Amino acid sequence: MSMDLRSFLGEARQLGPDYFVSISKPVDPVLETCIIQQKLAAEQRYPAIRMENIKGAELPLATSILGSYSLLGLALGVDPGEPKSAILQRFRDRAATPLKPQEITREEAPVKQVVLVGDNVDLAKLPIVHHAEKDSGKYITVGVLVLRDPDSGVLNAGMYRHEVKGKDKLGCMFNPAHHAAYIYRRCQELNKRMEAALFIGHHPAALLGALGEGSIDSCELDLMGGLMGEPLVVTDAETVDIPVPAFAEIVIEGYLDPADQTADGPFAEFTGFYGPAKDDIGLMHITAMTMRSDAIYHDLDPAHQEHNLANALSLESAVFDSVHRLVPSITAAYMPVSGSCRFITYVAIDKSVPGQGKSAGLAAITANPNIKIAVVVDNDIDIYDEQRVLWAIATTFEADQDLVVIPGVTGSHLNPSSYGEIRNEHGPMNTKMVIDATRPITLPFEERIRPSGDVWDRINLADYIDRN
The CA distance from 178 to 199, in Å, is 18
Q: What is the pTM of this model?
A: 0.89
- Name the residue ranges covered by the structural domains of the chain: 5-308, 311-436
Please say if the pLDDT value at position 120 is more than 90.
yes
Per-residue CA distances from 143 to 116, 151, 343 (Å): 18, 24, 23
pLDDT, tens digit, for every residue of 297-315?
999 998 889 988 988 999 9
- pLDDT for res 349: 98
388-442 pLDDT tens trace: 999 999 999 999 999 999 999 988 878 888 999 988 888 889 999 999 999 999 8
* CATH (residue range 311-436): 3.40.1670.10
Expressed in angstroms, the distance from the first to the final Cα of the chain is 49
Higher pLDDT pick, 164 / 447 = 164
Give percent of the chain with pLDDT exceeding 70: 100
CATH topology identical between 5-308 and 311-436? no
Distances in Å between the Cα of 260 and the Cα atoms of 242, 338, 391 are 21, 39, 54
As a whole number, mean pLDDT of residues 188-211 equals: 95
Percent of the chain predicted with pLDDT > 90: 78
What pLDDT does 81 receive? Answer: 85
> Residue 274: beta bridge partners?
268
β-pairing, 233-236 vs 155-159, is unpaired
Mean pLDDT of the chain: 93
Nearest of 233, 211, 75, 93 to residue 156 by alpha carbon: 211
For residue 1, the model assigns a pLDDT of: 64
Q: How confident is the model at residue 273 (pLDDT cuts 50, 70, 90)?
A: confident
Residues whose CB falls within 8 Å of the CB of residue 294, separated by 6 or more in sequence, listed in order: none
Report the CATH fold assignment for 5-308.
Pnp Oxidase; Chain A (2.30.110)
Q: At residue 403, what is the residue type?
A: L
User: HEC string of the chain?
Assistant: CCCCHHHHHHHHHHCCCCCEEEECCCECCECHHHHHHHHHHHCCCCCEEEECCECCCCCCEEECCCCCHHHHHHHCCCCCCCCHHHHHHHHHHHHCCCCCCEECCHHHCHHHCEEEEHHHCCHHHCCCEECCCCCCCCEECCCEEEEECCCCCCEEEEECEEEEEECCEEEEECCCCCHHHHHHHHHHHHCCCEEEEEEECCCHHHHHHHCCCCCCCCCHHHHHHHHHCCCCEEEECCCCCCEEECCCCEEEEEEEEEEEEEEECCEECCCCCEECCEEEEEEEEEEEEEECCCCCEECCCCCCHHHHHCCHHHHHHHHHHHHHHHCCCEEEEECCHHHCCCCEEEEEECCCCCCHHHHHHHHHHCCCCCCCEEEEEECCCCCCCHHHHHHHHHHHCCHHHHEEEEEEEECCCCCCCCECCCCCCCCCEEEEEEEECCCCCCCCCCCCCCCCHHHHHHCCHHHHCCCC
Closest CA to 345 of 307, 321, 323, 373: 373
**Predicted local distance difference test score (pLDDT) of residue 58:** 92
pLDDT given for residue 405 in this prediction: 97
Highest mean pLDDT among 168-182, 349-363, 415-429 belongs to 349-363
Do 66 and 5 contact (CB within 8 A), yes or no?
A: no
Encode pLDDT of 98-113 as tens digits. 999 999 999 999 999 9
Is 11's pLDDT higher than 90?
yes
* 156 residue type, one letter: N
Distance CA 182, CA 175 (A): 10
Query: At CB < 8 A and 24+ separation, what contacts does 350-353 make?
Result: 350/378, 350/379, 351/378, 351/379, 351/438, 351/439, 351/441, 352/441, 353/441
387: left (phi over 0), alpha (psi -120 to 50) or beta: alpha
Res. 85: pLDDT tops 80: yes
Structure confidence by residue, pLDDT tens digits, 137-156: 999 999 999 999 999 999 99
More confident residue, 299 or 179: 299
Asked if residue 213 has pLDDT above 80, the reply is no
